[in-house]
Amino acid sequence: MARKLSMKQAINEALDQEMTRDPSVIIMGEDIVGGAGSDGERDAWGGVLGVTKGLYAKHGDRLMDTPLSESAYVGAAIGAAACGMRPVAELMFIDFMGVCFDQIFNQAAKFKYMFGGKAQTPVVIRTMVGAGFRAAAQHSQMLTPLFTHIPGLKVVCPSTPYDTKGLLIQSIRDNDPVIFCEHKNLYGFEGEVPEASYAIPFGEANVVREGKHVTIVGYGLMVHRALDAAAALAKEGIEAEIVDLRTLSPLDIDTVLESVEKTGRLVCVDEATPRCSIAADVSAQVAQHAFRALKGPIEMVTPPHVPVPFSPVLEDAYIPSAERIVAAARRSLKEGKH
Amino acid sequence: MSAAITPIVMPKWGLSMREGKVTAWLVEEGAAIEVGMPIVEVETDKIANAVEAPDPGLLRRRVAQEGETLPVKALLGVLAPAEVSDSEVDAYIAGYVVPAPEAGEEEAEPAYQFIDVEGIRVRYVQRGAARRVPVLFIHGFGGDLDNWLFNLDAVAERHPVIAIDLPAHGQSDAKLPGAGLAVLAAFVVRFLDRIDVTRVHIVGHSMGGAIAAQLALSYPQRVASLALINSAGLGAEINTGYTEGFVAATSRRELKPVVEQLFADPQLVSRQMLDDLLKYKRLDGVTEALATLGTALFGAGRQTASPGLQLEATGKPVLIVWGAEDRIIPAAHAANAPPGATVEIFEGAGHMVMLEKASEINAVLKRHFAG
C-alpha cells in the first residue's frame, strides 16, 4: 500500500526495513544516534537533520555514533564491509569526503578488482549534496562527478521519495561500494512510497515526462527544475522529454540516446560545476554515439565555475533555474536543422 | 428545452484518474448518435479508450479540441435533438460548470479497502447497493483489480461489484497461501467469508477464470454464475514465453515486448502501464511468488489443470468471452466451453479484451447477469 512520505522518511524506512531484514546491516556516522552528551535512548536526534531518528530505539547498538573523524569511520565501514558486514556510513556533507579519499578511491573501489573478485566491499556512504541551503561554499557542493570518475564506485542521486527508498535498498543489497547522494533541499519533498520493501536496479534512467521536441537530462533537484521548465515550454507548444538519470554510475546512456534519437535536441542540466561534470559526460557521449540524430547544438545548463556563494542572492543565481533551462531549450530548437 | 441537452463529459476511468487528453473525435458535428456509440477518443496516463454516448441524439457541438487535456467531468461535447436551437446549445455550453468532486471522491485511497485473510493482507474494492447478488472480479496472472478499470462502474449500475487483488498481486501482500487452483479458490472463499458475502457471480480473466471455475466446482453453493474472459482452465495450451518473460523482465526495455503480447494493438502499452507493472514486480517477494505460481499452474509449457472443462455438471450459467487475437491463451479454447454456455468472440482484441473492447464486454456482462 502506498502512502505519501518525504524523502527523509523514505531514507529512514529503507534503512529500517533493511536492518530488520538483514542483521549484517549496520549504521555508522556522526550524531546519527544522539550526538555528544546524549545517552541516545530518550530522544535520539538521529543525525544532523534527523534522518536516522528512531532507528536507535529499534536496532540499538547496530547504530554507532562515531568521533568527528570521517577518515576513521569511513575507513572502518569499508573494512567492516570487506569482512562481511553491510555498513551504511553517513557522511554529513559530500564536501567533507576529501579527508577519506584514500579509503574510498584507493581501497573500497579497488578491492574487488585487485583481489580478482575474491573480495567485495558492500558499503554505502550516504551523504548530503547540493546548494540552496544557505550553508556556504564548504557545505553546498554537488561533487558527484568526482565519484563517477572512479571505476569501481557506484553513484546514486535520486529525485523522488519512491526512487530514494528503492535505490537505497538496492545500494545496501549491492556488493559494491555505493556513494548515495541525497539532495538536502529535497528532504522535505513528498511522494507516494509503497510500505513494502522494493529495490530499483542500478543503471536504469527514468523518463519522467514524454515529449518529442527536446530532451532534457538531469538528476536530483535538477529534475524538478526541468519539470518546471517543461511546463513553461509546453505553453509555447514545445514538448520536452525529461530523463532522470537516477544513477550516475552505472549511467543509462541508452535511454538518453533513445530519447535524443526521437527529439534531435539535447539540454543537459547539472548542479555540479561545468568542467568534467555529468552534463559534460552525457553531452560527450551523445555527440559521439548519436551525432547524426542531433538537429542542433547540445546545450548545457550548469552553475558557473566558481565556489557556491554564501550570499543568498548569488546562491540563487548560481543554481540552474527553470528559466535558464527554458532559454537553453529554446536555443537548442532555434539553431541547427529543422 | 435544455433538459433535452445531454453533456458528454470527460469520464473518470479508475480511481486515480484526474484528467484526460482528447486525442480524436470519432463523429462529425450534426451526426446522429445512438446509445453506446463511441464518440471521442480519450487518453489517460494509463490507457486510451473511447467515450460512448450516454443517450441518443445529434452531436450538436464538439466543445473540446483534439490534443486538449481536461479534468474529469469537463464538457467535451453536447448532444441534443434537432429541435433544440443553436442559441440554447450555446447558452448551455457557456453556463456549464465542471461539477466539484463529491465528498470523498478526491481521496482516491479510501475507495480501496484492505482486509486480512489468513495472515495475508488483501486489497479489494466493493461498491454498489447490496440488493442483488454481487459480481466478483478476479484478475489474471500478474494482474490486479485495476484491470477492471472500464468494467466495474458499468456493471455496478445494476449489481454490487467486488474486485480483489489476489495474493502476491497488486497491492495485496507478496505472499501465496499455496500455488494450486484449489488453494487459490479456497482463499477467495475465505475472503468472501471475511467480507460477509455468501454468493456471487464471478467474472474471471485468464488465470482468474481458472480460479473461478475451480471455485464453482469446489464450492457450488457460493457461485450464481460464471463469466470467463480469455480464460485459463479450458485447455492445455498457453504461451509460457509470456508468463516466464513477465516474471523475468527487470527493466522497462525487457518488459515492453512482453506486455505488448497482451494486446491486439501494442500501442495501448503506455509508459505509465510499464512503470506501474515494474513498481509492482520490484516489491520484495513478488518475483519469487509469480515464479512459484507460474511453475505450479503452467509448468512444462502447458496448463496443469482444466476445471473449465467440468463446468457442465455444476449447472451454472456460463459466459465465455475471448479476444480473437489472444496471443497468451488461444481463442480456440472457447470451443471447449461447456454445452449451453454463451460464447462471444471479439475480433480486433487480444488477451486484455476487457480493456480493449470495454463497452462491448460490459454489454455482454450485463446481459449475462440479467439472466
Rounded CA-CA distance A60/B294 in Å is 41
Q: Which amino acid, residue A51? A: V
Q: What angle do CA B227, B228, B232 make, to 5 degrees?
A: 160
pLDDT at residue A309, rounded to an integer: 97
Rounded CA-CA distance B118/B363 in Å is 36
Distance from CA of A133 to the nearest CA of B (A): 32
pLDDT at residue B38, rounded to an integer: 84
Which H or E run includes B293?
A: helix B286-298
pLDDT at residue B45, rounded to an integer: 73
> Which of B43, B68, B283 is best to mutate for the A interface (most A CBs within 10 A)?
B283
pLDDT at residue B15, rounded to an integer: 66
Answer whether B65 touches A (CB < 8 Å): no
- Other beta carbons within 10 angstroms of residue A125's beta carbon come to 29
Question: Peptide bond before A250: cis, by omega within 30 degrees of 0?
Answer: yes
A29-88 residues touching B, CB cutoff 8 A: none
| Chain B residues within an 8 Å CB radius of A172 | none
- Other beta carbons within 10 angstroms of residue A300's beta carbon come to 19
- Other beta carbons within 10 angstroms of residue B368's beta carbon come to 21
Q: Give chain B's end-to-end CA distance (angstroms, integer).
A: 38
Which H or E run includes B181?
A: helix B181-194
Distance from CA of B145 to the nearest CA of A (A): 14
- Mean of the pLDDT values across residues A5-17? 97
Answer whether A234 touches B (CB < 8 Å): no
**How does pLDDT run across A280-291, given as a tens digit for each residue?**
999 999 999 999
**How does pLDDT run across B161-208, given as a tens digit for each residue?**
999 999 999 999 999 999 999 999 999 999 999 999 999 999 999 999
CB B189, CB B216: distance < 8 Å: no
Answer whether A3 touches B (CB < 8 Å): yes
- Mean of the pLDDT values across residues A317-329? 97
**How does pLDDT run across A49-81, given as a tens digit for each residue?**
889 988 988 898 899 989 999 999 999 999 999
C-alpha cell at A156: 546514486
Contacts for B92 with CB less than 8 Å, ≥ 6 apart: B2, B5, B7, B78
Measured in whole angstroms, how far is the alpha carbon of residue B368 from the centre of its chain?
16
Distance from CA of A168 to the nearest CA of B (A): 14
Rounded CA-CA distance B77/B92 in Å is 11
A&B contacts, CB < 8 Å? 33
User: What are the residue ranges in chain B where pLDDT is below 70?
Assistant: 1-3, 15, 101-110, 129-130
pLDDT at residue B129, rounded to an integer: 67
Rounded CA-CA distance B193/B202 in Å is 15
pLDDT at residue B370, rounded to an integer: 85
Q: Decide which of B320 and A42 is more confident.
A: B320
Contacts for B234 with CB less than 8 Å, ≥ 6 apart: B209, B213, B228, B306, B308, B309, B320, B329, B333, B334, B336, B337
Rounded CA-CA distance A287/A242 in Å is 18
Beta strand pairing call for B200-205 and B223-229: parallel
Among B109, B279, B284, the residue with its CB nearest the CB of A197 is B284
Q: Identify the DSSP state of A237.
A: T
**Counting beta carbons within 10 angstroms of the beta carbon of residue A313, is it exposed (0 to 12), middle (13 to 18) or buried (19 or more)?**
exposed
The answer to whether the Cβ–Cβ distance between A1 and B251 falls below 8 Å is no
Give φ, ψ of B188 to 5 degrees: -65, -40
- Mean of the pLDDT values across residues A202-225? 97
pLDDT at residue A41, rounded to an integer: 56
Contacts for A34 with CB less than 8 Å, ≥ 6 apart: A40, A41, A43, A44, A45, A56, A65
Active site amino acids of A:
139
CB A225, CB A269: distance < 8 Å: yes
What are the contacts of A144-149 at 24+ separation with CB within 8 A?
A144/A94, A144/A179, A144/A181, A144/A219, A144/A248, A144/A272, A144/A278, A145/A272, A145/A276, A145/A277, A145/A278, A145/A281, A146/A97, A147/A104, A147/A179, A147/A248, A147/A249, A148/A248, A148/A249, A148/A251, A148/A278, A148/A281, A149/A276
pLDDT of residue A5 exceeding 90: yes
**How does pLDDT run across A157-176, given as a tens digit for each residue?**
999 999 999 999 999 999 99
Rounded CA-CA distance B213/B305 in Å is 11
Q: Which position has the grid cell 541508452?
A: A254
B164-183 residues touching A, CB cutoff 8 A: 171, 173-174
Rounded CA-CA distance A108/A38 in Å is 32
**Counting beta carbons within 10 angstroms of the beta carbon of residue B123, is it exposed (0 to 12), middle (13 to 18) or buried (19 or more)?**
buried
**Counting beta carbons within 10 angstroms of the beta carbon of residue A87, is it exposed (0 to 12), middle (13 to 18) or buried (19 or more)?**
buried
Percent of chain B with pLDDT over 90: 64
Q: Decide which of B47 and A155 is more confident.
A: A155
**Counting beta carbons within 10 angstroms of the beta carbon of residue A157, is it exposed (0 to 12), middle (13 to 18) or buried (19 or more)?**
buried
CB B173, CB B183: distance < 8 Å: no
> Which of B284, B286, B287 is best to mutate for the A interface (most A CBs within 10 A)?
B284
Residue B312, helix vs strand vs coil? helix
- Other beta carbons within 10 angstroms of residue B21's beta carbon come to 17
Rounded CA-CA distance B178/B184 in Å is 7
Q: Which residue of chain B has the CA closest to A165? A: B283
Strands (DSSP E) contained in chain A are 2-6, 25-29, 63-65, 86-93, 124-129, 154-156, 178-183, 190-194, 206-209, 214-218, 240-244, 247-249, 266-269, 299-301
Residue A21, helix vs strand vs coil? helix
The answer to whether the Cβ–Cβ distance between A198 and B283 falls below 8 Å is yes
**How does pLDDT run across A246-266, given as a tens digit for each residue?**
999 999 999 999 999 999 999
Average confidence score pLDDT of chain B: 91
pLDDT at residue A62, rounded to an integer: 94
pLDDT at residue B294, rounded to an integer: 96
Give φ, ψ of A74 to 5 degrees: -65, -40
Answer whether A201 touches B (CB < 8 Å): yes
Output b/e per residue, B33-67; b: 16+ Cβ within 10 A: beeebebbbbebbbbbbbbbbbeebbbbbbbbeee
The secondary structure of A69-108 as a DSSP string is -HHHHHHHHHHHHHTT-EEEEEEEEGGGGGGGHIIIIIII
Residue B249, helix vs strand vs coil? coil
Contacts for A275 with CB less than 8 Å, ≥ 6 apart: A305
Distance from CA of B285 to the nearest CA of A (A): 9
